[in-house]
Amino acid sequence: MKFYALIILSIFFFPAESAYPSTYPFAIDSYVHTSIPASTPSLTYDAEDPGGYIYTYTYSLDDFEIPFCPMFSMFSSYVLVTVYKVAPSFPLSAWNCTAKEIVFEEADFTGEILGSVTEQVCEKGSCCAHLIGHPKYADETLVWEDWLNKGAKGGLCGEVEKEDLYCALVDAHFRTNCIDRYVSTSERLVVFPCQDLHMLFWLSCPVFKDSGNSNLFVPVEPVLYMSALTPLEDVAVLVLTHNVDRVCYPLSYYEAASEPVSGDSSTSTSQNSEVSSTAASVSTLISVIMLCAF
């Protein structure tokens, strides 16, 4: 009987890993999902390359093996070859942020955005608590904060408003460059806002809404691909360069919260809703198992 009790216990506490979500969690949002054109890149990285690196290697990705992070796929290979003049891919060890032995600190975030309007998203010293102590890719959060300020000012953007969005925008590639964040296909060390919050922020900028804003970042796709995009798709390319993960918090998650929330959870909201009911049945199940064991 002890043998069967152990089997029951192992099934309950070590369930099969959930699959990577097949869609983004926008079902109950008013947000209309912005897609990007399907295309298969030639991997030639030249003027004839049709592009589609983001679409092929991350956006349309339905499954992957751990360890993983977007940079370990070929989605950024165009940038690596044409901009940084290096190999199209790096070994997995390059994306092991724990090995870098640097972590997020309170001083990494000022909480202030000096765009078309001055906004204090959170108080310096208390910002982005869900990131503090976790491994980071580089000591560049303040560099990215400067990038955000310039973009928000040049685009005449509205307010960021949500602290989680600010933390994501200045995370210095943690979302895409760290295998440490991908605990499993369905679990994350830190869960970030979905692309909808990013899209809505950048579309609050009248300059970018009319002309696109991919020029705020290095060229991530060939000219053939980018030249065929609408302004809305152009904004989506910038957003999806950093926010392709389907394990994320959509706009409805923040709107429904009665208290300030942050991305300090390891699973998506649908998974979190199951936690309380699972915990409530633990003591009862253990009692049954113990009876079986004896």
Mean pLDDT estimate for the chain = 84
Amino acid 149 reads: N
- Output DSSP code: residue 193: B
Q: Is 27 a residue whose pLDDT tops 70?
A: yes
Mean pLDDT of 204-220: 91
Question: Would you state the structure tokens that stand for residue 281, as one six-digit string?
Answer: 């049945």
β partners of residue 135? 103
What pTM was computed for the model? 0.82
Residue 10 CB-density burial (10 A; 0-12 exposed, 13-18 middle, 19+ buried): exposed
Close Cβ partners of 172 (under 8 Å, ≥ 6 residues apart): 136, 137, 138, 139, 140, 141, 143, 144
Alpha-carbon span 78 to 84, nearest angstrom: 9
Provide mean pLDDT across the span 236-249: 94
Mean pLDDT of 28-53: 92
Q: For the stretch 240-261, what's the b/e string if a residue is b when 16 or more beta carbons lie within 10 angstroms of its beta carbon?
A: bbbbbbbbbbbbbbbeeeeeeb
Residue-wise pLDDT for 150-170, tens only, equals: 999 999 999 998 999 999 999
pLDDT digits (tens, 9 = 90+) for 175-207: 999 999 999 999 999 999 999 999 999 999 999
Give the residue from 26, 30, 18 showing the smallest Cα distance to 249.
Answer: 26
- Predicted pLDDT of residue 116: 76
Q: Highest-confidence range of 30-39, 82-91, 206-215, 253-262, by mean pLDDT?
A: 82-91
**d(C-alpha 132, C-alpha 141), whole Å:** 12
